[in-house]
């Protein structure tokens, strides 16, 4: 992978000017804060990323696709499984505005879909959009809590299980509700290799913490957490596809925009002080500034995983 550096040290100084103390932020995100984060970010995603309500990375597979087509990559991969195995009951975790489930429910009118999220506000918007779809139900659910009993063929989550307090517990809850030929489909960013984190220098470590902060995360889960969780839950890894290269161009565009914003640190500082710039948006800008570095240097990787009952 091509390595493109950003002057981390320079931008950390800029950030310290813009929001003094931010480099040492100890902010922790629990469920109510994640809800507030996605209340605000949801609106921004709709305005700048996808008016259809997708809140995930577009996956680029060729030069000719449009943005909206790239955003369908994750849902289309679930649709392949539904077709191949004639599945009839699908559950989505962390559905946001329901972009993936709404697309799939339209595609498969005879398949039942349940889309869940912790965020009631965004779920209500999804419900309104899907009011004519009789095969899609929305349920508010925190996947860190014990699951209600249900049975289904596929449980999928797009960029949401990174918010799991313990991935293993979520996998356990899912797998006890999964039918015998069932599958779990996950798209997420993961820490790729634990040993590389010990080698980060002081500036890189601060920047990495800020990337996590920018996502309202304690930290990205390690890919090993999924593997060991799967093992304990009697699940095998049927597919592990590294899509990092397919999301990087979008992240680079975001980084370019964020760099331009920080050409005017005084304005950013005043906007933050006067609350003209929302705190959550600022967090996202910081994530956009440094995130690419960790992707390009292979600390973070974006995976498509399929787990199957053994």
Ligand X SMILES: C[S@@+](CC[C@H](N)C(=O)[O-])C[C@H]1O[C@@H](n2cnc3c(N)ncnc32)[C@H](O)[C@@H]1O
Binding residues (CB under 6 A) for ligand X: these are 31, 34, 38, 54-56, 94-96, 99-100, 117-119, 122, 142-144, 158-160, 163
Instruction: Give the C-alpha separation, 82 to 66, whole Å.
Output: 25
Shortest distance, position 270 Cβ to ligand X, whole Å: 29
Shortest distance, position 17 Cβ to ligand X, whole Å: 29
| 224 DSSP assignment | H
Nearer to ligand X by Cβ, of 120 and 232: the residue is 120
Nearer to ligand X by Cβ, of 12 and 170: the residue is 170
Shortest distance, position 73 Cβ to ligand X, whole Å: 11
Nearer to ligand X by Cβ, of 95 and 206: the residue is 95
Shortest distance, position 216 Cβ to ligand X, whole Å: 8
Shortest distance, position 236 Cβ to ligand X, whole Å: 24
Instruction: Give the C-alpha separation, 198 to 299, whole Å.
Output: 11
Placement of tokens 């914003």 in the chain: 261
Residues contacting 266, CB < 8 A, separation 6+: none
Residues contacting 248, CB < 8 A, separation 6+: 292, 295, 296
Placement of tokens 């195995």 in the chain: 85
Nearer to ligand X by Cβ, of 117 and 204: the residue is 117
Nearer to ligand X by Cβ, of 165 and 232: the residue is 165
Nearer to ligand X by Cβ, of 17 and 169: the residue is 169
**235 closest CA partner among 170, 287, 147:** 170
For residue 235, what is the enclosing H or E element?
A: strand 235-242
Shortest distance, position 3 Cβ to ligand X, whole Å: 27
Shortest distance, position 94 Cβ to ligand X, whole Å: 3
Shortest distance, position 7 Cβ to ligand X, whole Å: 28
The dihedral built from the CA positions of residue 10, 274, 216 and 189, taken in this order, carries a sign that is negative
Q: Are 301 and 190 in contact (CB under 8 A)?
A: yes
Nearer to ligand X by Cβ, of 143 and 190: the residue is 143
Q: Are 210 and 23 in contact (CB under 8 A)?
A: yes
Shortest distance, position 92 Cβ to ligand X, whole Å: 7
- CA 52 to chain CA centroid, Å, is 17
**61 closest CA partner among 246, 295, 249:** 246
Residues contacting 126, CB < 8 A, separation 6+: 53, 95, 96, 97, 98, 101, 102, 115, 117, 138
Nearer to ligand X by Cβ, of 8 and 130: the residue is 130
Q: What angle do CA 77, 83, 84 make, to 5 degrees?
A: 90
Nearer to ligand X by Cβ, of 15 and 116: the residue is 116
């Amino acid at each position: 992978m091509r390595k493109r550096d950003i002057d981390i040290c320079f931008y950390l100084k800029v950030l310290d000017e813009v929001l003094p103390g931010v480099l040492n932020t100890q902010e922790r995100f629990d469920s109510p804060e994640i809800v507030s984060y996605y209340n605000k970010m949801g609106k921004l995603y709709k305005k700048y990323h996808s008016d259809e309500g997708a809140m995930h990375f577009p996956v680029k597979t060729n030069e000719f696709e449009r943005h909206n087509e790239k955003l369908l990559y994750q849902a289309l991969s679930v649709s392949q499984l539904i077709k191949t195995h004639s599945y009839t009951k699908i559950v989505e975790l962390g559905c946001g505005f329901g972009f993936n489930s709404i697309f799939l429910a339209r595609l498969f009118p005879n398949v039942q879909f349940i889309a869940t999220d912790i965020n009631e506000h965004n779920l209500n918007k999804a419900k309104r959009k899907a009011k004519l779809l009789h095969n899609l139900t929305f349920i508010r659910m925190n996947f860190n809590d014990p699951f209600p009993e249900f049975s289904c063929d596929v449980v999928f989550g797009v960029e949401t299980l990174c918010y799991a307090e313990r991935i293993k517990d979520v996998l356990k809850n899912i797998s006890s509700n999964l039918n015998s030929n069932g599958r779990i489909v996950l798209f997420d960013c993961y820490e790729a290799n634990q040993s590389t984190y010990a080698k980060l220098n002081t500036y890189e470590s601060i920047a990495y913490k800020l990337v996590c902060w920018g996502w309202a995360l304690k930290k990205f889960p390690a890919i090993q957490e999924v593997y060991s969780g799967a093992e304990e839950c009697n699940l095998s890894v049927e597919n592990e596809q590294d899509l990092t290269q397919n999301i990087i161009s979008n992240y680079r565009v975001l980084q370019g925009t964020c760099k331009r914003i920080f050409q005017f640190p005084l304005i950013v500082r005043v906007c933050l002080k006067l609350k003209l710039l929302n705190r959550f948006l600022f967090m996202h800008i910081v994530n956009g500034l440094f995130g690419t570095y960790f992707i390009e240097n292979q600390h973070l990787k974006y995976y498509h995983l399929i787990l199957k009952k053994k």
